[in-house]
Structure 1
Amino acid sequence: MRHDIQPNERAFSTKEVAEEMGIATTTVRRYGQILERNGYEFFKDGDRRIFVRSDIDALKAIRDTDKPQDDMAKDLVEDQRNRLKRSTEVAIPNTYDHSLQDPAQLSEFFKALTNELAAAREMNVQLSNDMNELKTKVSRLQQDHHVISSGVGNFAQKTSTNIEKLSEQQKNHYEALLEQEREKSEALKQELQHMRDEQRKEWQSQNEFNKRLEESVKPKGKLERILALFR
């Protein structure tokens, strides 16, 4: 478990690290995952990573390396283990073995505890601020979602009404056109029938004339032929 936090050391959120490094928050999380799967330890608040300055330096090393990122992560993990080991070796003899016997060391021990407590409090304040900011963003997103949902619902209702009106108008228009075509068709039928009747009369008249003409050219008296033409 990590215990290398420095007195009054500041804690950083993922968003702050991303802004400092000039990368996306998703990239910060991906670098953190690369480090963790190779054995690197982060301070955690539940499943959420809390970054200190040494962690940011490790993330920058992952970002800037020319080596495979997993190889660089292994080197950084080894550095972290050595740093934690040195910190443990110094803390145990100087603090726990002699602090209760030496008033000066006891004072330093309490001073270190006070500084660590202050750093923890600062970290908690930062986490609280981040949580409040997150809650505010979630609340705004919920409000935006409600506004968008209402807008979409109203738009859908208006669109449905307009479609129904347009469909009714088109239906009426088509029915009117159909009725006009029916009337035109009926008038055309009547006109055609009239033309046929006239043609039939014309044919009948022509046939009668032809018969009279034939009768007139038959050998008859001159007077009868003349009169036949006018029958």
Structure 2
Amino acid sequence: MRHDIKPNEQAFTTKEVAEELNIATPTVRKYGQILERNGYEFFKDGVRRIFVHTDIEALKAIRDTERPLDETALDLVLDQKERLKSNEETSVAAADTYDPSLYDAGQLKEFLMFLSKELAASREMNVQLTNDMAELKTTVSRLRQDHHVISAGVGNSTQKMNTKIDKLMEQQKNHYEEMLQKEKEKSELLKNEVMQMREEQQKEWRSQTEFNERLEEEVKKPRGSWGKLLALFGK
């Protein structure tokens, strides 16, 4: 049990120590845990550490050491034990000369007021953390709902898009089949026209052939019988 606090000694919070040493508040807690793990004693209000100047010097030594932190902590613990032992011996030696009238009730009152303020601040922080957690839960719930709505919207949009694509593909297929059918009909019509032209050409060729044969026969006859020959030319 520590008993080395001086009547007029100032006490510091974790936040004040962090500002004094220019380190983060979690780092102060970490160094405090390392010291306690190796046997160091802090003044406490419940579970909250209350720091005095000797504690700040110990934390500073932990901050600035180049050795393993546990080794430095062990040395600081030994120093503290020696200091507490020396203070205990001094207190025993001076016990007979202690004058209760010299006890400073004002300092004790100030210290208790400080503890009361720290406790109120801690309660206020707990309330704030509770409110923050509730707000965070609300935000997470809202984000989940938004995600669900967005997912549903994306799903609906995808379904509509797929439906449109299927419809367009069906229309394109029908259009292609319609064009193909028209081309087949045109091809069939053209084929018939070509066949008809060929038949007419063949008829013309047969007619010309017959005319040539008749002309050749008439030419072979005696000249006096060329009347039929002239008749072939319509004269």
TM range (shorter): 0.5 to 0.7
Task: For 1:134, give the aligned amino acid.
Answer: L
Q: Distance in 2 between matches of 1:181 and 1:49?
A: 83
Match of 1:85 in 2: 82
Q: Distance in 2 between matches of 1:173 and 1:24?
A: 64
Match of 1:141 in 2: 136
The alpha-carbon deviation at position 195 of structure 1 amounts to: 0.8
The alpha-carbon deviation at position 58 of structure 1 amounts to: 5.1
Q: How many pairs were matched up?
A: 220
Superposition TM-score, scaled by structure 2 size: 0.65
Which ranges in structure 2 are unaligned for 5 or more consecutive residues? 220-227
Q: Structure 1 pair 55/90, CA: closer, same or farther in 2 (3 Å)?
A: closer
Match of 2:14 in 1: 12
CA RMSD of aligned residues (A): 4.4
The alpha-carbon deviation at position 30 of structure 1 amounts to: 6.3
Q: Distance in 1 between matches of 2:88 and 2:230?
A: 155
Q: Of the two structures, which has the highest relative contact order with CA contacts closer than 8 Å and spacing of 6 or more?
A: 1
SS of equivalent to 2:99 = helix
Q: Structure 1 pair 145/121, CA: closer, same or farther in 2 (3 Å)?
A: same
Task: For 1:52, give the aligned amino acid.
Answer: F
**Correspondence for 1:185 among 180, 183, 187:** 180
Identity of aligned residues (%): 25
The alpha-carbon deviation at position 110 of structure 1 amounts to: 8.9
Q: Structure 1 pair 143/93, CA: closer, same or farther in 2 (3 Å)?
A: same
Match of 1:214 in 2: 209
Maintained 8 Å contact 1:18/1:25: yes
For residues 69-91 of structure 1, give each alpha carbon's deviation from its aligned partner in whole angstroms, at most 9, with x where no partner exists: x26x5224412431243124414
For residues 142-193 of structure 1, give each alpha carbon's deviation from its aligned partner in whole angstroms, at most 9, with x where no partner exists: 1111221122222222222222222222222222222222211111111111
Superposition TM-score, scaled by structure 1 size: 0.65
Task: For 2:196, give the aligned amino acid.
Answer: K
The structure number with the bigger radius of gyration is: 2
Q: Structure 1 pair 11/193, CA: closer, same or farther in 2 (3 Å)?
A: same
Maintained 8 Å contact 1:5/1:116: no
For residues 7-38 of structure 1, give each alpha carbon's deviation from its aligned partner in whole angstroms, at most 9, with x where no partner exists: 6623326xx76677666666666666766777
Which ranges in structure 1 are unaligned for 5 or more consecutive residues? none
